[in-house]
Amino acid sequence: MPDPVLLGWREWLSLPALGIVAVRAKVDSGARSSALHVQGQELFMRDGREFVRFVLDTGMDGQAPQPAEAAVIDRRQVTDSGGHTTERVFIQTRLRLAGQEWEAEVNLTHRRNMLFPMLLGRTALAGRFLVDPASSFRQGDPPEGLLPP
């Protein structure tokens, strides 16, 4: 197994299966699961499977809010950093970061008051990355033409 890549406490990552070129993510080894800010979740059935339809808004200039849908792989209770527990929908999607691409479970939530639309938790980091909490954006800037707010 190759040596883990070193990340900062915040990084840019892509969600290629959802059409997201760049999203600002907080890298949080204290959080078990990864979370993605979405708007307007709507559950529906297709071919006997549960799906969720939602809107992704990364808050980036040059990247419009985008409708997306994905198969629901689970519903679980998640406790946030404030100690509040809610049931969340989990999907599985591809993540791209630091030249690596892999499938990860991500829960969908409304993170409107958070600075980072994506939280990258320890289960997605395990075996791939180490985190240097004293550094930021070790893997570089977002793609040209996309600017943070």
Task: Measure the CA–CA gap between 67 and 103, rounded to whole angstroms.
Answer: 20
Contact between 15 and 31 under an 8 Å Cβ cutoff? The reply is no
- The ranges assigned to domains in the chain are 5-36+74-129
Average pLDDT of every residue of the chain: 88
pLDDT at residue number 80:
81
Q: What is the pLDDT of residues 59-89, one digit of tens each?
A: 766 677 889 999 999 999 998 878 889 999 9
* Four-way CATH pick for 5-36+74-129: 2.170.120.20, 2.20.25.190, 2.40.110.10, 2.40.70.10: 2.40.70.10
Query: What pTM was estimated for this model as a whole?
Result: 0.88
Q: What is the pLDDT of residues 130-147, one digit of tens each?
A: 999 999 999 988 766 555
In 3D space, the residue among 42, 48, 22, 49 whose CA is nearest the CA of residue 118 turns out to be: 22
CB-based contacts of 87: which residues, under 8 Å, 6+ apart?
A: 75, 76, 77, 78
CB-based contacts of 114: which residues, under 8 Å, 6+ apart?
A: 26, 37
131 half-sphere exposure, CB direction, 13 A CA radius? 17
